[in-house]
Amino acid sequence: MNGKTHMSNQMGRVASLGECMLELVRRPDGTLTMGFGGDTLNTAVYLARLGVAVDYVTALGDDAHSDAMAAAWRAEGVGTGHLLRVPGRVPGLYMIETDPAGERRFLYWRDSAPARDLFMLPESPALIEALEGYDLLYLSGISLAIWGECGRDVLFPLLDRVRKRGGRVAFDTNWRPRLWPDKAVARRAFDEMLRHTDIALPGVPDLQGLYGDADAAAALARVRAAGVPEIVLKLETPGCIVSRGDTATEVPAERVGTVVDTTAAGDSFSAGYLAARLAGQDPAQAARAAHHLAALVIQHRGAIIPREAMAGLARLP
C-alpha cells in the first residue's frame, strides 16, 4: 500500500464515488416503498455510521427527489460538499424484488442519470482537484461502468496523482454485465483499475463471470498479479480470503439464522472492513468485523437497515 503497512483513523477523509438512485422495494403484499440506494452510497452510509469521516461524490439533478436524497445523506453524517447538481436532470431509479430465500432481482431506469457525467461537467475540474486531497478513494465496478470510456480516461490519472501523494484507493469489483457493452471493454477497465488499487474487495463470482476464473485460487492469483497489495476475496460460500503479500488467510462468515434480503451485503462488508482497517485493526480482524456487519444487514429489508439495528457496533474513536 504505497510502502505503508498500517491503516489508522489518522488518514483523514474518505471519498466514496459512484451513483445513488431512487429505490423502490416491492413488499410481500405488492405495495411499493421508496427510498434510495446505490452500492457506493450504501458503503458511505455504513462508514459514516461506524464513525468514519466520509463524503459521497456523485452528480444529481435539481429536482425534489435529489434534494431529499442529499438531505438524507447529510442526516446520516455523510458529507455532500462535493455533490454536483445538474439542472433539468433527475436521478436514476431501480426496483428490488426479493424471492422467498431473500435473493433479489433488480430492474433499472438509469440511462440518463447525471451521475454518468460526473467527470464531464463544467464543475468537474474543481471536483477532480478536490479529490486529489482525500486520503482514501472508494469506488466499484458499477462506478467504472457508468462513467464510460471518457470518464475512466479522467479517473485513472486522478488515481495516479492520489497514490503518488500517499493516498490510497479501494475497489469493490461489483461486476454487472448489463452495464457494459461487452466483456472485452470491461476486462480492460478492470485490469487498469486493479493496477491503480491498494485494497481490492473482489468477489469470486464477479471474477468468474468477467474472466472465467476456475476457482477462488485462480481469482486470487489474478488480482495478485495486477500488483494489488491488499486483497479481500469474497467467496461463494460464506467467508473471505484476506491476502497481503504472500500470506493468505481464510476468514469464515458468521452463521445467520434467517436471511431476509441480501441487498447491500457486499456494500456493508466493504464498509465494515475499511472502517476496521482505518481504526488500526489488522486485515483478519477487519474481515471479521465486515462479516458481522453484513450478517446484520441481510437480516433486514432494503439497502440501508434501521440505525438501531447497528446500536451495538463499535465506532471509530
Q: Tell me how far CA of residue 122 lies from CA of 14, 22, 118, 125, 154, in angstroms.
A: 24, 25, 10, 7, 14
Which three cell numbers mark 317?
Answer: 474513536
Alpha-carbon distance of 167 to 135, in angstroms, equals: 4
Alpha-carbon distance of 171 to 153, in angstroms, equals: 17
In sequence order, the β-bridge partners of residue 98 are 104
267 is catalytic: yes
Q: What share of the chain is helix, strand, coil (3-state, %, to 5)?
A: 40, 20, 35
Rounded to a whole number of angstroms, the CA Rg of the chain reads: 18
Alpha carbons within 13 A on the beta-carbon side of 93: 9
The residue type of 153 is D
The residue type of 157 is P
Inter-residue contact 37 to 265 (CB < 8 Å):
no
Residue 219 per-residue DSSP state: H
Alpha helices, DSSP H, located in the chain = 39-49, 64-75, 124-131, 141-164, 183-195, 204-211, 216-225, 265-278, 283-297
Cell 483499475 found at:
193
Catalytic pick from 206, 213, 261, 267? 267
Phi/psi for 121 (5° steps) reads -95, 165
**Distance of alpha carbon 111 from the chain centroid:** 20
Catalytic residues: 267
